[in-house]
Structure 1
Amino acid sequence: MHVREKAEKRVDAKIRFQENLFKFIVSNTILVIVCFVFLGDFWLLKFAMLFGGIALLKDLFDAYPISYNRERIVENELSKRGD
């Protein structure tokens, strides 16, 4: 796989995560209002947050994979500082 294709996949994953995070926040805000006004209990919100959170975590790990490649991390930190 070419470097550009890998970069495009990472960018697509980050965009997908950001979009899903925004949707998660908006939909849960609406559910909080609905639960508070109409139901008086937050049981519906608990299920929505649990399953939506699991899906959001999957997108998070796809967008920002955990990497333990020490040399790459050091090079990344050095490039941020301009050294």
Structure 2
Amino acid sequence: MLEKDFTEADRYYDAQKKVKEIKAFYEHLTVYVLTNPIVIVVNFMTSPEYLWCLWSVMGWGVAIILHGLKVFSLPPFFNKKWEERKIREILEKENKQRLESNHGNKFE
């Protein structure tokens, strides 16, 4: 019974974390959508001969796309499975180092 509660608590925490990530993405997207028209207008008012606003729109747009891919787990990298694989890899490496250092101490 205790393990079931723990699992449900973990699932709730994970879902809560995911909702916060999605909310942060939509806030980021909203700021992008509201800010870039201002940047474009300022560009056309101050220096219409050079469209520097494209650097802002495109650069920030790439950041928005990457943020969305991460939040919605669309890329094949940096998703939950990748995280679990890296955690296991790091733990195995630490265990191996610990064993090697313990064996070295026994022979001294």
Q: TM-score, normalised by structure 2?
A: 0.54
Which of 1 and 2 has higher RCO (CA within 8 Å, sep 6+)?
1
Q: Which residue in the other structure is 2:20 paired with?
A: 12
Q: CA-atom RMSD, angstroms?
A: 2.0
Which 5+ residue runs of structure 2 have no aligned equivalent?
1-6, 76-108
| Distance (Å, rounded) in 2 between the aligned partners of 1:9 and 1:34 | 37
Distance in 2, Cα, partners of 1:55 & 1:9:
21
Given candidates 56, 61, 69, the residue that maps to 1:53 is: 61
4+ runs of 1 displaced by more than 6 Å? none
Identity %: 18
Provide the aligned length of Structure 1 versus Structure 2: 67
Unaligned 5+ runs, structure 1: 68-83
Q: Which has the larger radius of gyration?
A: 2
With normalisation by structure 1, the TM-score equals: 0.68
Distance in 1, matches of 2:63 and 2:17, equals 18
Residues 12, 34 of structure 1: CA spacing in aligned structure 2 closer, same or farther, 3 A cutoff? same
Corresponding position of 2:70: 62
